[in-house]
Structure 1
Amino acid sequence: MTLEEKVSLVVGWGPARRVPGAAGETRPVKVPSMVTSDGPSGLRIEPTKERKWYATAFPVPTMLASTWNLELVERVGRAIGEEAREYGVDIFLAPGINIHRHPLCGRNFEYFSEDPLLSGVVAAAYVKGVQSAGVGATPKHFAANEQETNRVIIDTVVSERALREIYLKPFEIVVKEAKPWAIMSAYNKLNGKYCSQNEWLLTKVLREEWGFNGIVMTDWGAGDNPVEQIKAGNDLIMPGSDEIVTKLLEAVKKGALSESELDRSALRILRVAQLSLSYRGYRYSNQPNLEAHAQLAYEAAAEGVVLLKNEGALPLKEGSRVAVFGTGQIETLKGGMGSGHTHPKRVVTILESLRERLKVEEELSSAYEKYVLEKRGREFLEKLYYEEAYPEPLPQDIVSEEQVAKFAERNDAAIIVITRISGEGWDRRLEKGDFYLSNSERKLIEMVSRQFRAKGKPVVVVLNICGPIEVVSWRDLVDAILLVWLPGQEAGRVVADALVGRINP
C-alpha cells in the first residue's frame, strides 16, 4: 500500500454514503468500506427524503440489566445485529458500558448499571449476540466518560485503583469474554490526557494487559491531535475528513509520525475489514424481521419491569374500572434522546393498552388526550413516538379535586403515570420537574391519594423514566409503584400486562 492509501485507511470517510443516515463509514482502500451505525436500544439510521430504515426499539440497556437474564440480553443483541446486517451495516456503535457514577448523567439510560461486574457481564452477552449475526460491536466510551456536561473538555482525575476496580472493569470483562471487533475511545481527558490520545489506556492496558486485538476508533470528533491519536493506539479517526488525512501525511513526511506506527493501525483495520459483511459480499435484504423482534422487545421489557412497592394494590383485575392520570399515558416514552434514539415502525402507548385490559375512565383520559393534542400537536407526538422530540414538561394537574372525587366514586383504582426523559449532550438537574416531582405532579398525587384512599381504593404510580427520581417524600401517598424505565416500542403492552398480572415483575 502507498503512504496515501494507509493514511486514508485510518481516517473515516465522513457521513455514511452506502447507507445514508448511518453514523459514518470507513474509506474503501484495498478493501470495501465499512458502514457504522448507532445504538444501543436498537439500530439507528436517520431517515432521508428517499426512505426510512425502520428498526425495533428495544428496552434501554438499564432495563436490560434489570432482567438479570444474560441469555435474553444475548438474544436482543443478536436481533439488533440481524437488523444491522439486513440494512448493510458492518459495525454497530454499541453497547455503552460507562458506569452510573452519578444518578443524573444524561446518558445513564444507555448504560447498564452502577455496578461494574453487572455492567461487564451483561455487555458481554450483548456483544456476543450482536457479533453472532456477523456484525461488529463497539463497546464505548473508553473510559471514565460518566457525565455529559463538558464531556469533550473535562479532565476526569481518578486513581488507578478506582479506575481498575470500577471504570475499566466492565471493558476488561467484555474484551476478555466477548472479543468485540472495536472499542470507541471517549471524548474526555483521563488524568490530563485525552482518552483517544492516551497510550497508557489504549495500548498498555487495553492491548498489552487485556489482549484486545480489534480496532480502537474515536468518538465523533474527539481529541485534538490526530498524530497523537495514531501514536497512542487509536487506529481509526471518526468521522474523519480530508483535512485530517493531510495532517497525517505531513506528519509522516516530517517524521512526527513513523510509518511503522501508521502501519500498525492500518493493519488492524484491514484485519477487521476482512471480518465484515461488506468484505464477504453479503447481499443485505433491507427487510429485517421486525415482527419477530417486536415480540422479543416485549419479552425483554417484561423481564426488566421492577415493582418498587405493592401494598395489596396489584395485580388489578382485568376489566376493572380505572382512572388514569398524567400526560404520560399519551406521551409514553419508548427511549432516550441523542444518538441512542430509535425509529420503530410502531409504538404502543400506555393508554392504548390499558384500554384493552381495563375499563378506562374515558371522561378523564379523553380530557388528557385533548389537552396533550392542544399543547403539543399531532406532528410532535409522531416525532416523539417514531423519531425523537423533547417533551417540555406540561402541568399534570388538569383536573380539580371535585372531579377527582367523582372519578374515585365510579372507579376501582387510580393509575398515575410519571415520565422523565434525558439524552446525549446534557445532564439532568437536581430540581423540581426532574429529579424531584414538579409542583403539579405533587399536587396531583396528593389529590388522587386523598380521594381514592378515602373510599378504600388503591393508587398506583407508573414510572416511565430514564433514571432515578426522588420517591421518599411521596411513596407513602400511594399503594404501588411500578418502574418501567424506557421500555421500547412495546411500552404500553408491558405496562398494562404488569398491572393486571400477566407479567410478574
Structure 2
Amino acid sequence: MKLIKITVIVLSFSSVYLYAQKEKRLYKDSKQSTEIRVQDLLKRMTPEEKFWQCFMIPGDLDNVPKDKYRHGIFGLQVSAGNQGGGAAGQMLTYNANEDAEKLAKKINAIQKYFVEESRLGIPIIPFDEALHGLVREGATAFPQAIGLAASFNPDLMKEVSSAIAKESKLRGIRQILTPVVNLASDVRWGRTEETYGEDPFLTSLMGVSFVSSFENQGIITTPKHFLANVGEGGRDSYPIHWSKRYLEETHLVPFDKAFTTGKSRSVMTSYNLLDGRPSTANHWLLTEKLKKEWNFKGFVISDASAVGGANVLHFTAKDYDDASAQAINAGLDVIFQTDYQHYKLFIPPFLDGRISQNRIDDAVARVLRAKFELGLFENPYISGKDIQELKKINHKPLAEKAAVESFVLLQNNNGTLPVSGGVKRIAVIGTDATDARLGGYSGPGNNKVNILQGIKNFTKDKNIEILYAKGITWDMKDFKTVPADLLSFGNKKGLHGSYFSNSVLKDTPAFERQDEQINFKWTLYSPDPEKLQTDNYSIRWTGKLKAPESGKYQLGLGGNDGFRLYLNGKPVIDQWEKLGYSTKTAVVDFVKDQQYDIVVEFRENRGEANIELIWNYGIDNYQKDFDEALKMAQNADHIIITAGIHEGEFQDRSSLSLPGNQEKMIHEVSKLNKPVTVVLVGGSAIKTTTWKDKVGAILDVWYPGEEGGNAVAKVLFGVENPSGKLPITFPVEEGQLPLTYNHHPTGRGNDYYDLSGEPLYPFGFGLSYTTFEMSDLQLDKTKYSDHETITAKVMVKNTGSKAGSEVIQLYVKDLLASVSRPVIELKGLKKVHLNPGESKQVTIEVPVKDFRFLDENMKWTVEKGTYRIMVGNSSKNLPLKRNIEVE
C-alpha cells in the first residue's frame, strides 16, 4: 500500500514538473538567446496581440481606457496627439508644458501598465521625434539638420547626436523617428531644412554619425523617408518616376549606409508613389531591395497615416483594410496611425487570412527582436538616478559651438565683417532678430537666445548702442481671414456648414458641422474623408457677421473653385464657374456692432480645394514699420538686416526670393552708403541675385538653435570665425532648378539663352575671415586595385591674420566609363583648424570601392581606367588635380 502511494506521489510530481517545464516562459529568461525568446513569445500570442505589436500611435493612457490596451501595443508617442484629419490625418501636436521629469514618470507609469497588466507583459517602445533635439520641454534645441550638415564636420555631428541621445534615453525614449536622409535634389522643397543636403556622400557621412550615437546608447533610429519624397518642382511627396539606376546611385545610398555602417534598426516609408506604387506598399522597395538584397533585419514603419494613403490619395486600394493588407504583404511591419480608434480600419486582414501567417509572424518577430535587444523586458523603466542626471545636463555650450560651425559666410566685400572696432551705433532690423525661430520638428528650446539678445549680450560692456526696429514683414497681406469671434451661428462662434456630396448644393447634406473660420485648404483630402469624396462636393455656410467698426470694407472670398457670397440675402460675390485660384472682393458699408446675415457657398469639382472668407479690416501698417526702421538706420554706423523665409512640411516654395518687403528694405538701406550685413535665416537656398551687390556681407545662419543669438553675435564681431560650407547649391534663378553639383554631362551646354548655367553659390562653398592656401597634393601611389584605399595628402596653410577652420574637399571624376557618370562626386573631406601662418598636412582616405556604379547590365562595378582626383574648398574651386589608374 505504501509502495503504491509513493509511486503515485512521484508520478504526480513528475507530471507537474514536466508541465511546468513545458509552460516555462522562455521569453522571460534573459539567459536565453534573443531568437529563442522571440519564437517562444510569438507562439503564445493571439492574432489580436500580434496585430497590436504592428500598430503604433501618439497618445497615452489618459485619453483611452486602460482595458482597451489589453492586447498590448508596439509603442506610444507619449503626450502627443493628432491635428485632425481622421484616419488620413498626418500632422501631430506635442504637449510642450510637460517637463522632463513629468514625461519620464508618465512613461514609467504607462510602461508599468503594459508590463504588469497586459496578458503577456510585453513592454512598449516609447518613441518620439529628435531631428536636431528632442521635441520636448527642456530638451536642447541644436541647429537645424541642414545647419549641422553645413558644418561639414562629422565629429561635431557625433557630439551633438550623442547629447540628443542622452537627453532622449534619460526621459525613457527608446526609438526616434529620425534622421531625414533624403537628398534635397530641389531646393524648392519645403523640407530641405530637415535634410543633410543634396549630396549622397555628405548625407551618408552625417547620417551615419547621427544614427550611430543613438544606436550605441540603446535607442533605435529610423532613417526616413524611404524613398525619395521630393518630386518634380520640389514638391513634397510627389510621385517619383526616376530610374532604378539613378535611385540606386543616389537616393538609396544614405539609407544603405545608415543600416550597414550606422546600424539603424528601423526605417520609415514615405508618402509618395514610387514607380506607380505607394512607397508604403511597394514590394520591390520593402522586400526585394531592403529585406532580401540588403538583408535588413530591423522593422519598417509607415509615416503617420501613410498606409491609408493607398485608399484616399493614390487610389490603389479599395478601402483601409485593403490598404493594410497590401502594405503588410509588401513588407511593411508596423502601421503608424494618429489615433487609437483607427485600429478598427486596419486590423481585419490580420484576422481574416488576407495577410499570411508567415508574413504576420515575420513582422511581429522583427518588433519583438528589437524589444529584446533594447533590454526592455529586463529594464523597462527610467530610474530615479536617470531622472536626477537629466536635471544636471547642460548642453548649451555645445549648442553654441554647433551653431558657430554651421554658419556660412556667403559674401564679405571690403571687410564688412567682422564689425569694425570703431562702430558706436548698430541698427538691427527684422523680425528674425527677435523671433529665434528653430525650424521644423523642433521643441520649444531652453531660454532661447535670439539674434538681438545675442548682440546686446555681446556689446553690453563695449560702449556700443544697439538700435532695433521691426521694419520688414515677410508675410505681407492685403486681406485677412474674417476672425471667428465676429462670426456666429446660434450661440456658437463661427458659421454652420452643410456639406453636400454633389457640386450643386442639392439633397440632404452628407454631414453638418460648426466651422469657426472659413479658411480651408483641402489639398490632400475632402473636408471629412470618411463622409465625403475627394471631389464633386459643395458646401453652404450660414450665420451672422458682426461689424467691429463702422466704415467701408473690402469683403470677399479667395479660392480656386466656384464660390458665392451673400450678405443680408443679397449677392455680393458670384464666381460660380471654376477657375484657377482667384480673389474677389466688393466694397461693403458696415455699421459698428450691427449683425449681418451671411451665406458662403462653395463647390469643388476636381479636388485640391481652397476657400477663404476675407476682408481688409485689421491689416497692419507695413509702411509705417518700414519707414521707422529706415529712419533709424540713418543714424547707425553699421546696419544688420535679418531676413528669412517661410518653409516646412506642406510648405514648398515656388520662389526662392525673400518674401514680403525684405528685399525692398535691403535696396533702400543700401542707398545710405553705410556698412550693411544681411543675416539670412532659413533652411534652404535663398536667392540674393538682385541685391547681393548692394550690401557688404551676407551670413547664412540657417536655424541656429537655442544658442543661435550668442553664436551669431560672436561671429559678427569676430570672436568666432565662420567655417560652414553649403550642403546645397544656390541657384541664380528658379529656372535653373533642379540644380545640383553632381549632375551628369549634358547633350549640349548647361546655359540658357538668357542665363548662365552656373550657380549663384556652389555646393561646398563658404568664406572665412582669413585665407587659406592648399598645395602639394600627394597620393600614396598612382595605380590601384578595386580593394585598395587611396591615401591623399595635402598641405594647407592659413595665410591670413585670423585663426580659422577650412574644409578640404576631395572630388573624383571618372574620365571614361561604359555609362554616363556625374561630372564630379564628393568622396572625402576633412575639416582642419589653423592659427595664422600655421601649416598642416591633411590626410584623406578614399576606398576605391567607393567609385563603384551600375554598369549597363545593372551590376555594381568599379571599372578599370583613369580617374581624376581633385582637391579644393568647394565644388567649383578645385585647384589640385592628379590622375590615378584603377587596374
State the TM-score bracket (shorter-chain normalisation): 0.7 to 0.9
Look up the match of 1:462: 679
- Aligned partners of 1:57 and 1:489 also within 8 Å: yes
1:492 matched to 2:734: no
Answer yes or no: is 1:482 the counterpart of 2:699: yes
Moved more, 27-36 or 87-96: 27-36
Shift of 1:369: 9.6
Amino acid at match of 1:494: A
1:325 counterpart letter in structure 2: I
Q: Equivalent of 1:425, from 634, 639, 650?
A: 650
- Over 3 Å counting, the alpha-carbon distance change for 1:64 and 1:14 in structure 2 is closer
Aligned to 2:401: 299
Which aligned pairs between 1:44-443 and structure 2 lie closer than 5 A?
Answer: 44-45=135-136, 53-146=137-230, 154-224=238-308, 225-239=323-337, 250-276=348-374, 278-279=376-377, 280-284=379-383, 285-286=386-387, 288=390, 292-311=394-413, 312-317=415-420, 320-321=423-424, 322-336=426-440, 340-358=441-459, 361-362=465-466, 364-365=467-468, 367-368=469-470, 395=622, 398-400=625-627, 404=630, 407-408=633-634, 410-430=635-655, 435-438=656-659, 440-443=661-664
Q: Distance in 1 between matches of 2:222 and 2:432?
A: 33
Q: Residue 228 of structure 1: CA displacement?
A: 1.5
1:433-479: CA deviation from partner (whole Å, max 9, x where unpaired): xx21346222221222111x2xxx41111111121111011000001
Q: Distance in 2 between matches of 1:463 and 1:478?
A: 13
Residues 100/188 of structure 1: CA separation in 2 closer, same or farther (3 Å cut): same
TM-score normalised per structure 1: 0.84
Q: CA deviation at 1:198?
A: 0.9
What amino acid is aligned across from residue 398 of structure 1 in structure 2?
A: D
Contact 2:165 2:219 in 1 (8 A): yes
Q: CA deviation at 1:253?
A: 4.8
Kept in 2, the 8 Å contact 1:106–1:422? The answer is yes
Q: Deviations over 1:65-89 (max 9, x none)?
A: 1111111101111111111111111
Q: 8 Å contact 1:32–1:278 — kept in the other structure?
A: yes
Matched, 1:20 2:78: yes
Letter in 1 for 2:123: P
> 1:319 Cα shift?
7.7
> How far apart, in 1, do the equivalents of 2:260 and 2:79 lie?
32
Amino acid at match of 2:640: I
**Paired residues of 1:43 and 1:84 also in contact (CA < 8 A):** yes
- Residue 449 of structure 1 aligns with which residue? 670
Structure 1 residues 419, 151: CA separation in 2 closer, same or farther (over 3 Å shift)?
A: closer
Counterparts in 2 of 1:16 and 1:219: CA distance versus 1, 3 Å: farther
1:164, distance to aligned residue in structure 2 (A): 1.1
Question: Using a 3 Å threshold, how does the CA distance of structure 1 residues 289 and 130 change in structure 2: closer, same or farther?
Answer: farther
- 1:320-379, CA deviations, whole angstroms, 9 ceiling, x for partnerless residues? 33121222211232223xxx12121211011111112235645x41x439999xx9xxxx
Q: Is the 8 A contact 1:140 1:183 kept in 2?
A: yes
* Of 11, 15, 27, the match for 2:55: 11
The answer to whether the 8 A contact 1:40-1:61 is kept is yes
Moved more, 437-446 or 204-213: 437-446
Q: For residue 19 of structure 2, what is the aligned residue in structure 1?
A: none
**Cα 1:5/1:41, change in 2 over 3 Å:** same
Q: Distance in 2 between matches of 1:100 and 1:262?
A: 35
For residues 325 and 243 of structure 1, do their structure 2 counterparts lie closer, same or farther at Cα, with a shift above 3 Å needed? closer
Q: Give the distance between the partners of 2:268 and 2:331, measured in 1 at CA.
A: 12
Compared CA separation, residues 342 and 501, structure 1 to 2 (3 A):
same
AA aligned opposite 2:357: E
| Per-residue deviation, 1:289 | 5.5
Q: Which residue of 1 aligns with 2:130?
A: 39
The answer to whether the 8 A contact 1:56-1:297 is kept is: yes
Q: Return closer, same or farther for 1:134/1:69 CA change in 2, 3 Å cut-off.
A: same
Give 1:250 deviation, angstroms: 3.9
CA contact (8 A) 2:473 2:660 kept: no
Q: CA RMSD in A?
A: 3.1
Distance 1:234 1:393, change over 3 A: farther
More strand by share: 2
Tell me, in whole angstroms, the C-alpha distance in 2 between the residues paired with 1:370 and 1:471. 17
Contact 1:179-1:212 at 8 Å conserved across structures: no
Preserved contact between residue 330 and residue 369 of structure 1 (Cα < 8 Å):
no
Distance 2:50 2:127 in 1: 20
User: Offset of 1:114 from its aligned partner?
Assistant: 0.8
Number of aligned residue pairs: 464
Distance in 2 between the 1:179 and 1:232 partners? Answer: 23
The one-letter amino acid of 2:639's match is A
Tell me if the contact between 1:94 and 1:137 (Cα under 8 Å) persists in the aligned partners.
yes
Q: TM-score, normalised by structure 2?
A: 0.49
Deviation at 1:144, TM superposition (A): 1.1
Distance across 2 between alignment mates of 1:243 and 1:328: 41
CA distance in 2, matches of 1:219, 1:491: 31
User: Cα–Cα, structure 1 residues 239 and 19, in superposed 2: closer, same or farther, change >3 Å?
Assistant: closer
8 A contact 2:471–2:627 mirrored in 1 = no
Question: Tell me, which stretches of 5 or more residues in structure 1 are unaligned?
Answer: 46-52, 376-391
Please state whether the residue corresponding to 1:157 is helix, strand or coil: coil
1:484 maps to amino acid: V
In the TM superposition, residue 139 of structure 1 has moved relative to its aligned partner by 0.5
Q: CA deviation at 1:232?
A: 1.4
* Distance in 2, Cα, partners of 1:71 & 1:394: 48
Query: Compared with structure 1, are the counterparts of its residues 182 and 348 closer, same or farther at alpha carbon in structure 2 (3 Å cutoff)?
Result: same
Greater relative contact order, per chain length (Cα 8 Å cut-off, separation 6+): 1
Q: Is the 8 A contact 1:22 1:44 kept in 2?
A: no
Percent of aligned positions that are identical? 32
CA shift in 2, pair 1:406/1:203, >3 Å: closer
Equivalent-residue separation in structure 1 for 2:53 and 2:212 (angstroms): 27
Distance 1:468 1:293 in 2: 29
Contact persistence 2:146–2:193 (CA under 8 A): yes
Deviates more, 1:6-15 or 1:102-111: 6-15
CA drift of 1:254 comes to: 3.8
Structure number with higher helix proportion: 1
